[in-house]
Amino acid sequence: MPRPPIPDSSVRDVIVVGAGPAGATAARVCAEHGLRTLLLERAAIPRYKTCGGGLIGASLAALPPGLPLRTYDTAGRFTFSHNGRRERTLTSASPTCAMVYRSELDQALTEAAAAAGAEVQDTTALNSLDQEGDTVTVRTNRGESLHARVVIGADGSASRVARYVGVRCAQVDLALEAEVPVDERTADRWRGRMLMEWGPLPGSFGWVFPKGDVCTAGVVAARGNPQALRAYKEDFLTRHGLLGPRPLHDTGHLTRCRFPDSPLARGRVLVAGDAAALLDHWSREGISYALRSGRLAGDAAAGVVSASDTAEAEAAVGRYGRQVDAALGAEMRASRTLMDLFTLNPGLVHTALTRVPPAWRSLDRYIAGRTSVAGIMTTPLARAAAAVGTWMSPVPVPAPAPATA
Ligand SMILES: Cc1cc2nc3c(=O)[nH]c(=O)nc-3n(C[C@H](O)[C@H](O)[C@H](O)COP(=O)(O)OP(=O)(O)OC[C@H]3O[C@@H](n4cnc5c(N)ncnc54)[C@H](O)[C@@H]3O)c2cc1C
């Protein structure tokens, strides 16, 4: 039975679901376009998010200018090791990677959205959504039915909106991370230096990020063997003297990478950031993807709202897909190639990075935001490494993880 018509006054232009970097950015951009925008967040803001909080150059460049944000350290030295051995520390030509707390970053981005005119409602979760004609209805945990011309799902890696849109994932990983308070001597040892260790499980690595009197340390590997990953985490933290102290947070979180042709929208419902499974396959860097896709989703929403007919609205949604692919698709494809090479032969990647100066210089330029992963993977050195790595390795390329959404 058709629903009774919804009065125009109760239909917002846009509802954005999730106040992480993708959602807060999308909401700010929508509000800057003059759209009547509601940003819904399930948690109370500020909320904790399992994340290293490392901002590479591409993330810093995508932040709104003048965003008030405290940086706890900037990594200028990078220690690499392979299963705890062959450790080597390299120095960055232009230290860029900023260490922040996600609760503070996401709160600052949400405040920027509110300052631009978005209405922010936290402790409110989307439970379900559907669309009819040019209206999308969002039902919340508070029992409300909210209406909008466009919905942007930026509700992270366990996204309900992604399930609705039908996002399909080529790679799903589990990350385990602890925020560990450290004494002065340990803090001095890590100041200005981060560590990346290529781990014992296929495609895995561990990291230590310095944040003054706290270190963020964790491990990531393909989902499916949590026991082995927990054992790796314990060993990794023990070796770096970070297991003893009582952690401030000790959590796990999924990361997901989309198939290149996975949908980014269904009708007037778009997805951005982790919800769209936009993430670097190798480093699992996702903040720059969230910020950039959030901006594009905000612009697309403005196109849909100002469309004079259905065809124009559909064209604006179609443009979103093409723009995301142009901005981030090449990056994801290149990082997939790098991830395949790394999974096949982490020792080769380690040797190249630590012993072949142009390889480190390329990675350093990427961290600084002066090149992309796609840029790195088209260098003759990376192409040669890819060819040698495939030829040398006896290990078959692992099958993609089963899709989840
Ligand atoms: C352990 C770990 C370490 C990482 N380290 C880094 C790093 O150092 N640098 C980097 O660039 N990337 C890192 N990443 C990736 C990065 O955290 C994500 O890519 C990034 O958070 C994506 O932002 P987002 O806005 O899409 O999603 P999120 O930050 O996950 O935000 C989603 C928001 O939606 C809310 N939400 C969820 N469901 C609902 C609902 N139903 N209704 C309303 N709200 C909802 C959530 O509460 C959350 O606030 C890391 C990831 C992990 C797991």
The reply to whether 84 and 198 lie within a common domain is: yes
Whether residues 143 and 34 share a domain: the answer is: yes
Q: Is residue 211 part of a domain?
A: yes
Q: Residue 14 is part of which domain span?
A: 8-51+102-169+258-329
**What's the rounded Cα separation, in Å, for the pair 335 and 203?**
12
Q: Which ligand 1 atom is at minimum distance from the Cα of 253?
A: 53
What gap in Å lies between CA 242 and CA 234, rounded to an integer?
9
**Both structure tokens of 95:** 């230290």
Q: Kindly report, residue by residue over 17-53, the tens digit of the pLDDT.
A: 999 999 999 999 999 999 999 999 999 999 999 999 9
Q: Which of 223, 253, 283 is a domain's end point?
A: 253
Q: pTM here?
A: 0.94
Give the number of the atom of ligand 1 that is nearest the alpha carbon of residue 59. 11
Closest CA to 346 of 199, 229, 179, 162: 199
Same domain, 290 and 155: yes
**What is the full DSSP assignment across 67-100?**
------EEE-EEEEEETTEEEEEEE-SS--EEE-
Amino acid at position 357, single letter: P
The reply to whether 121 and 231 lie within a common domain is no
Q: Is the CB of 40 under 6 A from ligand 1?
A: yes
Long-range pairs, 306-311, Cβ under 8 A, ≥24: 310/134
Domain-terminating residue out of 230, 253, 276: 253
Structure tokens at 10: 């109760």
- 233 CB under 6 A from ligand 1? no
Taking the C-alpha atoms of residue 399 and residue 169, their distance in angstroms, rounded to an integer, is 12
Helices (H) then strands (E): counts for the chain: 13, 18
Residue of 16, 29, 38, 42 best suited for mutating to test ligand 1, as the one with most atoms within 8 Å of CB: 42
Overall number of domains in the chain: 3
Residue 57 lies in a domain: no
Query: Is the separation of the CB atoms in 393 and 347 below 8 Å?
Result: no
The pLDDT tens digits of the residues spanning 237-287 come to 999 989 876 889 988 999 999 999 999 999 999 999 999 999 999 999 999
Specify if 56 maps to a domain.
no
18 in contact with ligand 1, CB cutoff 6 A: yes
86 lies in the same domain as 165: no
- Tell me the best of 250, 287, 289, 296 to mutate to test the pocket of ligand 1, counting ligand atoms within 8 Å of each CB and taking the most: 287
Cα–Cα distance measured from residue 287 to residue 277, given in angstroms and rounded to the nearest whole number:
12
Does residue 61 lie in a domain region? no
pLDDT level of residue 2 (50, 70, 90 thresholds): low
Cα 17 to Cα 128: distance, rounded to the nearest angstrom: 11
Pocket test for ligand 1, best of 49, 51, 196 (most atoms within 8 A of CB): 51
CA gap 76, 15 in Å, rounded: 40
223 lines ligand 1 (CB under 6 A): no
User: So what's the pLDDT on residue 118?
Assistant: 98
CATH number for the domain that contains residue 180 = 3.30.9.90
27 and 161 together in one domain: yes
Same domain? 46 vs 86: no
Give the per-residue pLDDT at 382: 79
Instruction: Establish how many alpha carbons lie within 13 A of residue 192's alpha carbon, considering only the half-sphere containing its beta carbon.
Output: 9
Judge whether 217 lies within some domain.
Answer: yes
Atom of ligand 1 nearest to the CA of 279: 19
Written as one letter, the residue type at 214 is: V
CA 380 / ligand 1 centre spacing (Å) = 34
Q: Are residues 91 and 130 in the same domain?
A: no
Shared domain for 298 and 163, answered yes or no, is yes
Which of 113-127, 174-188, 222-236, 383-397 bottoms out in mean pLDDT, i.e. has the lowest? 383-397
Query: Which one of 188, 223, 253 terminates a domain?
Result: 253
160 lines ligand 1 (CB under 6 A): yes
- Amino acid type, 394: P
